[in-house]
Amino acid sequence: MRLSPATSQRLAVTFLWTLAAATMGLLLFIVAFILVQGMPYVTWEFLSQSSRSMGREGGIFPMIVGTLWVAGLAVMIAAPVGVITAIYLTEYTREGKLTHVIRFGADCLAGIPSIIFGLFGFVFFVITLGMGLSVISGALTLAMMVLPTIIRTSEEAIRAVPASYRDVSYGLGATRWDMVTKVVLRSALPGIGTGIVLSIGRSISETAAVMLTAGSALRLPSSAFDSARTLALHFFILSREGISMPKAYATASVLILAILAINLTAYWVMQRFVAKAR
Amino acid sequence: MKWIVGSFLAIAAAMLCFSFCAGRNNKGRAINCIGSTSIQPLAEMLSQEFDRQHPESIVEVQGGGSTAGLQAVAENIAEIGMCSRSLKDDEAGRFRGIPIALDGLAVVVHPDNPVSNLTKAQIRDIFEGRITNWKQVGGADATIWLITREEGSGTREAFVKLVMEAKDKPAAKAGQPASAPADKAGAAQAPTQHPNHRISRKAMTQESNGAVKELVKHNRGAIGYMSLGLVKDELKILAVDGVYPSLDAVTAKKYPLVRPFLYVVKSTPSQGAQAFIDFTLSAEGQHMLVKEGLISVR
Amino acid sequence: MKEATKDKCISLTLLAVAMSAIAGLALITAFIFKEGLPIMGKVGTGSFLLSSDWYPQEGRFGIFPMIIGSVAVTIGAMLIGGTLGLGCAIVLTQFCPPRLVMFLKPSIELLAGIPSVVYGFIGVVILVPAIAKYLGGPGLSVLAASMVLGVMVLPTVTSISVDALRAVPKAYREGSIALGATDWQTTHMVLLKAARSGIVAAIILGMGRAVGETMAVIMVAGNTLNLPRSVLDPVRTLTSNIALEMGYAAGDHRKALFATGVTLFVIIMILNIIALTVSRRRARRVGST
B99-121: average pLDDT: 91
How far is C228 from B251, CA to CA, in rounded Å? 43
Contact status, residue C149 vs residue C76, Cβ threshold 8 Å = yes
Q: Cα(first)–Cα(last) distance of chain C, in Å?
A: 46
Q: CB contact, 8 Å: B214 with chain C?
A: yes
Q: Between C21, C119, C213, which is nearest A105 by CB?
A: C21
Which residues are registered as beta bridge partners of B11? none
User: What φ, ψ does residue B263 adopt, rounded to 5°?
Assistant: -95, 135
What is the pLDDT averaged over residues A11-34?
A: 91
Please answer whether residues C167 and C251 qualify as being in contact, where contact means their C-beta atoms are separated by less than 8 angstroms. Answer: no
Closest by Cα among B125, B127, B119, B137 to B241: B119
Chain B: residue whose CA lies nearest to A80: B9
Q: Side chain identity at C103, as an amino acid letter?
A: F
C281 vs A: CB within 8 A? no
Q: Mark yes or no for CB contact A189/B5 under 8 Å.
A: yes
| Intra-chain end-to-end CA distance of chain A, in Å | 50
Using a CB-CB cut-off of 8 Å, the residues of chain C touching A144 are 24, 28
Q: Cα separation of C245 and B65, whole Å?
A: 9
Whole-number pLDDT of residue B184? 40
Q: Is the predicted pLDDT of residue B4 greater than 90, yes or no?
A: no
* Integer angstrom CA distances of residue C186 from A75, C97, C182, C203, C282: 44, 17, 6, 22, 20
Strands B204-206 and B236-237, bridge-based pairing: unpaired
pLDDT at C284 over 80: no
Chain A nearest C-alpha distance from B276 (Å): 16
* C74: nearest Cα among C209, C203, C210, C208: C210
> Minimal Cα distance from A116: which residue of C?
C261
Residue type (1 letter), C24? G
| pLDDT tens-digit readout, A190-249 | 888 888 888 998 899 888 889 888 877 777 888 888 888 899 999 988 888 777 888 899
Measured between CA atoms, the residue of chain C closest to residue A152 is: C21
Closest-CA residue of chain A to B48: A52
ipTM of the complex: 0.86
Residue A231: the pLDDT is 92
Mean pLDDT of C23-42: 89
Closest alpha carbon to A238 in B224, C117, B231: C117
Q: Please tell me if residue C43 touches chain B, with a CB cutoff of 8 Å.
A: no
What is the average per-residue pLDDT within B235-241? 91
Which pLDDT value is given to residue C158? Answer: 92
- Which has more pLDDT, A59 or B13? A59
| pLDDT at residue B92, as a whole number | 82
DSSP 8-class letter at C126: I
Tell which C residues from 189 to 228 touch A, by Cβ distance under 8 Å. Answer: 205, 208, 211-215, 219
Question: If residue C221 lies in a helix (H) or strand (E), which one and from where to where?
Answer: helix C215-221
- Quickly count: other Cβ atoms within 10 Å of residue B216's Cβ: 27
How does residue B291 score in pLDDT terms, banded at 50, 70 and 90? Answer: confident
Cα dihedral angle (C83, C88, C93, C94), rounded to 10 degrees? 80
Residues C275-283 have a mean pLDDT of 74
Question: What is the arithmetic mean of pLDDT over A2-17?
Answer: 85
**CB-CB: which of B23, B42, B45 is closest to A224?**
B23
Which stretch of DSSP H or E encloses residue A237?
Answer: helix A231-240
Q: How far is A206 from chain C (nearest CA, A)?
A: 7
Nearest Cα to Cα of residue B80 among B269, B289, B298 = B269
End-to-end Cα distance, chain B: 67
pLDDT band at B93 (very low <50, low <70, confident <90, very high): confident
Q: Report whether pLDDT(C218) > 60.
A: yes
Higher pLDDT, A272 or A38: A38
Element (H, E) at A58: strand A57-58
Q: What is the CB-side half-sphere exposure of residue A274 using CA atoms within 13 A?
A: 8
Q: Which one of A122, A226, A269 makes the best mutation probe of the B interface by having the most chain B beta carbons within 10 Å?
A: A226
Which chain C residues touch A175 with a CB distance below 8 Å? 3, 6-7
| Chains in contact with B, counting 3 or more C-beta pairs less than 8 Å apart as contact | A, C
Length of chain C: 289
Residues of A with CB under 8 A from a CB of B: 52-54, 69, 72-73, 76, 79-80, 132-133, 135-136, 185-186, 189, 193, 215-219, 222-227, 239-243
Is the predicted pLDDT of residue C71 greater than 70, yes or no? yes
Residues with Cβ within 8 Å of A77's Cβ and at least 6 positions away in sequence, in order, are: A139, A140, A143
pLDDT in tens, B143-198: 899 999 988 788 888 898 888 887 654 433 433 444 444 444 433 333 334 455 78
